[in-house]
Amino acid sequence: MRLLFIADIVGQPGRRAVEHFIPQLRKREDLDVVIANGENSAGGSGITKRTADEIFAAGADVITSGDHLWDQKEVIELLENERRFVRPLNYPPGTPGQGSVLVQKPGLPPLAVINLQGRTFMQPLENPFHAIEAEVSRLRQFTRLIFIDFHAEATSEKVALGRMLDGRVSALVGTHTHVQTADEQIFPGGTAFLCDGGFTGPHESVIGREIEPIITRFMTNIPQRFEVAKGRVLMQGALVDIDNLSGRAVSIRRVSELLPSEPR
Ligand SMILES: [Fe+2]
Ligand SMILES: [Fe+2]
């Protein structure tokens, strides 16, 4: 199974990149499954049914999220009605939505997709290490092919969780920092790992937002409006090949593709 994971889609530029690249990569790379983190797809903050529908229409099979989950109130419609939308698993019991989903493609074993959120330098949800142990054991009754989007700030938290799950999940790619790391590898047990996939959107920016207001904020501590930036739009993430029988990763490649600038 060949899987494309698309890191945090930021605003309209990010959605444009996904519309451009998914159909192209589906052909060129012979993709079986596309998973996209959509937590920043609506104006850079949160996700709505409309932005989710655009991402699904572009060719994503599953959309994951993160700490910006609640930024748009329309998200409740996705949480309650959209099976292909997953939120971080480690919310308390009774939270709307689901932390994982099984994707079934013709001729392939099912793929479990899990979204999980870290706690270091973030809002403290339930312990992700405990939550993921239970969920991976549950899902391995149905499949050996398991993908995790671990939405977390601290590299140590992401590496530790990946190491803990080595051999029990096919791949773990981190999100949230919006900065792609260069540590893609396959751990000894067969789990593919990348600390952070980066982000899909305008890179002539500070992690997707206009540069000047962010510098002003750091200089003055006065709140500013952070608009989504425009220039140098990249689609970032990772391409993972998984052995269908064992569920072990065969390869992991970083993705960083420049969207050709459109004629005016
Ligand atoms: Fe994000
Ligand atoms: Fe985030």
Token pair for residue 97?
A: 């939505």
Residues 68, 151, 176, 203: which is the catalytic one?
Answer: 68
Question: What is the whole-number distance in angstroms between the Cα of residue 251 and the centre of ligand 2?
Answer: 26
Q: Which protein residues have a CB closer than 5 Å to ligand 1 (ion)?
A: 8, 40
Separation of CA 52 from chain center: 13
Residue 177's CB: how many other CB atoms inside 10 A?
21
CA distance 236 to 245: 28
Gap from CA of 176 to ligand 2 centroid (Å): 4
Rounded CA gap, 57 and 15, in Å? 11
- Please give the full DSSP string across 101-154, using - where no structure is assigned: EEE--TTS--EEEEEEE--TTS---S-HHHHHHHHHHHHTTT-SEEEEEEE-S-
Q: Where are the beta strands (DSSP E) in 131-248?
A: 145-151, 171-175, 185-186, 192-194, 201-202, 233-242
Q: Ligand 2 mean position to 245 CA, how many Å?
A: 33
Specify whether 178 is catalytic.
Answer: no
Instruction: Report the separation in Å between the CA atom of 103 and the middle of ligand 1, taken as the mean of its atom positions.
Output: 23
> From first to last of its 264 residues, what are the pLDDT tens digits of the chain?
999 999 999 999 999 999 999 999 999 999 999 999 999 999 999 999 999 999 999 999 999 999 999 999 999 999 999 999 999 999 999 999 999 999 999 999 999 999 999 999 999 999 999 999 999 999 999 999 999 999 999 999 999 999 999 999 999 999 999 999 999 999 999 999 999 999 999 999 999 999 999 999 999 999 999 999 999 999 999 999 999 999 999 999 999 999 998 655
